[in-house]
Amino acid sequence: QCINGTRNHGYFRIMHTIRHLEQITSVGPRPVGSPENEVLTVGYLLEQIENIRVETAAGHHQLTVDVQRPTGTFSIDFLGGFTSFYDRVTNIAVRLEPKGGAQHLMLANCHFDTVANSPGASDDAVSCAVMLEVLHSLANQSTPLHHGVVFLFNGAEENILQASHGFITQHPWAEQVRAFINLEAAGVGGKEVVFQTGPENPWLVQAYVHAAKHPFASVVGQEVFQSGIIPSDTDFRIYRDFGNIPGIDLAFIENGFIYHTKYDTSDRILTDSIQRAGDNILAVLRYLVTSEKLADSSEYRHGNMVFFDLLGVVVVAYPARVGTILNYMVAAATFLYLAKKASLPGNRGGRYLRDLAYATGIAVLSWFVTLMLVLIVALLVTLLGRSMFWYNHFYASICLYGSAAMGKIILIHTLAKNLYYGVSGDFILGDLYFDVSLLLWCCSLVWLTQQGLCSAYVPMLMVAFPLATKLLLAKEFKHRGASLKYSVLYLLGLALPYVHFMFLIWVVFEIFTPIMGRSGTEIPPEVVMASLVTLATIFISSFFLHFIYLARSTKWILTGLGSVFILTFLFVSCGLLFPYSGSPESPRPKRVFLQHTTRTFHDLQGQVESHDSGLWINSFDFTCIQHVTPHIPEINDSIRTSCREDRPFCGYPWFLPVKFLSKKNWYLPAPEVSPGAPVEFSLLSREETRWGTVKMTFSVKGPSHMSLYLMPHRGASLSTWSFGDGTPQFDLSGEYFVFYSHGLDAPTWIFWFEIQVYRNTDGMISVAISSHYFFGEDSRTAQLEEILHRFPTWAFPSSWVSTYDMYRY
């Protein structure tokens, strides 16, 4: 398939894709508004698209290019909720269709912009490189497409999904789009996973299942992501909510430790990952643009799909309504099995049900006590100042928390066996505790099904296979107890659901372990990790509880687990397991954000009431600065800030409304900043309306990224404004956050709001504007450069220059 880079029509060319990736990332970070994003990258993409257009001009397809620079505004319920305003951000839309035109379009979306200070190879340059080659392949194929494809290279996703909003709400081609594929990243490389589909439209999942050459998909990931547990979002939300079109969301998820850091470079993305992504996306797009369902997708809209892959080999998918029937059939079979056992001659009079109830109580109690014990260990680790030791030594968390959890479960059941039941190696008790596990998994199956969750397929598998295995091995178990033959056959019977379940657990840890490094200072990571490891241990061990009652002794197992726990705890408490690493091969960086800022506060008379400058420092993980202070002594708790509740967003230049995630920050005095293009903020007009409100109009001229904070005073409230749909939304504890960005040659930002005053107060509203200089000479100062060089190699300090100006009216 053109591995040597020569031309091969209709196939995915891997070497060309790698060349695109290297070219896009070679310009460095590409924040919105920077020449790297708006000129260099746009120029390269347009050049490559033009080459494809010229090459395929004599073929069966026509290719149209449109560079869109939209302006718009919307509100979004993300990070607590805020409003977004964008001006002249960049979209490159490429329309590929048969020579006679197409009425229905498929959309493929990537973004080429990045966060500040990251080259963004995986997020999301590699997806744009893949899309260029998929465009080339489809344009060159010998059979004409039935429908058209729009390839959208959007230049403002990191600014919280702005460019996709501009396309889907304003571009004339958007009305013909029937479905979309969004290419994203939450990690660097590995397999790209389908983690969102829909809403509804099961035909899209069926298309992926039918066409993808290397499938990797899970409805569990979809339901976890859409629950809001993961602090992230993608353009999928914009197309779904503002375009009302269904789609598929794919993302790389491995090695999220270096996501949004300087380490996200092209050399870290394996060729196999790029090839796999290209093969999948090309095959799925090719299938969809020849599908009759795309022409009238509304006819196939209703219903969700249960879908999951088996080790990336094959995807199982079936309608959710079929899943509901299947789930209840498995649950009914389980209850029938238990009822039959209860009706046996030796179990009449409620004896079996009583024993089952007592055993269930012991099992649930053992799990509760285990969780509490492990959380106590996690608390002790936190108090010792050793949080996040597993960030760079993941398996140490399994050794510490996993051994503690497993040891406690075995100990409690051993005590129950010896002290409560007073027997040893009893196959009747073993049989009883198998039934306990079956019952509890069955209860979770019924509950998840009643909640309408497609993830109920997991407990369905964890009930159906063990039940079938037990029935098939009933005679073997009864006659020989826990014999070697029984144990081997039992494990084989549980292999499929357990392998799949352990794979899901791996995905959970693959996602959540790196997230703990960017979840702020308020979420205790030891509690999260200890809970995840304990729950995984409980789930995995559930169908092995009965072996404790079949075994004659658990002394050696408990001794081994206890030894592992004690040794690991000693290593952790002595500080031998450092959380971070600057290793070029496998970095685990600590994320620190530094802003060299100047703050100015004005009173009601417009006079400056205070003015200062400094380095404002935020650590985005729980360890704060405890590991940084030994390297940079002046960054210590003596300069820790406190929130001024009378100032919008505490009086600091928050780039995004995440102060609830990071309440601990530090402010080191430094000289004043002097950007070459300082922000210009002015009140244009103030008038009382006929309906009793005060309308205030402002103008702002500044850098490509600014944040507006509005805080009505007591006795006043915002009634309307010029953003979104006109209704002020997402009141964050009395404050409103407006995120602003612009591309090149943007005009002055004009906005207004109306405020309703209910009673006389000390002013109506506090308005603050912060400016953020992410690129060019204005983004650096001598003080920033000096302190950045002092950070240890295991830290990733992301820095820029900002200002904060507050006015009271």
Neighbouring C-beta atoms of residue 578, cutoff 10 Å: 15
Query: Distance between CA 65 and CA 277 in Å, rounded?
Result: 24
DSSP 685: E
Q: Note the Cα 35 to chain centre separation in Å.
A: 29
Q: Residue 211 gets which letter from DSSP?
A: H
**For 145, which DSSP code?**
P
404 phi-psi bin (left φ>0, alpha ψ -120 to 50, beta other): alpha
Q: How many CB atoms lie within 10 A of CB 108?
A: 26
Q: Computed over its alpha carbons, how large is the radius of gyration of the chain?
A: 30
Q: What CA–CA distances, in Å, run from 471 to 60, 462, 578, 703, 736? A: 60, 15, 49, 70, 61
Among the options 36, 97, 133, 157, which is catalytic? 157
CA-to-CA distance for 807 and 796, rounded, in angstroms?
Answer: 34
Q: What is the DSSP string of 567-622?
A: HHHHHHHTT-S-S-B--SSS-BPEEEEEEEEEEEEE-TTS-EEEEEEEEEEEE-ST
Q: Is 649 left (phi over 0), alpha (psi -120 to 50) or beta?
A: left
For residues 235-249, b (16+ Cβ closer than 10 Å) or e, as one string? bbbbbbebbebbbbb
Angle at 485 between CA 481 and CA 491, to 5 degrees: 95
- The residue type found at 55 is E
End-to-end CA distance of the chain: give it in Å, rounded. 66
Exposed/middle/buried for residue 540 (C-beta within 10 Å: 0-12, 13-18, 19+): middle
Q: Is 157 a catalytic residue?
A: yes
Other CB atoms within a 10 A radius of the CB of residue 76 amount to 21
3-state helix, strand, coil in the chain (%, to 5): 45, 25, 35
Write out the two tokens for 416.
Answer: 């129950």
Residue tagged 């915002």 (tokens):
718
The Cα 447–Cα 425 span in angstroms is 34
684 near 105, Cβ under 8 Å?
no
Query: If residue 771 lies in a helix (H) or strand (E), which one and from where to where?
Result: strand 765-773
CA 490 to chain centre: 37
Residue ranges of E strands in 282-434 = 305-310, 314-319
Strand order, beta sheet including 608-619: 71-76, 82-87, 736-742, 705-712, 765-773, 795-808, 590-602, 608-619, 665-669
Backbone φ/ψ region at 464: left (φ over 0), alpha (ψ -120 to 50), beta: alpha
Q: Active-site residues: which are they?
A: 157
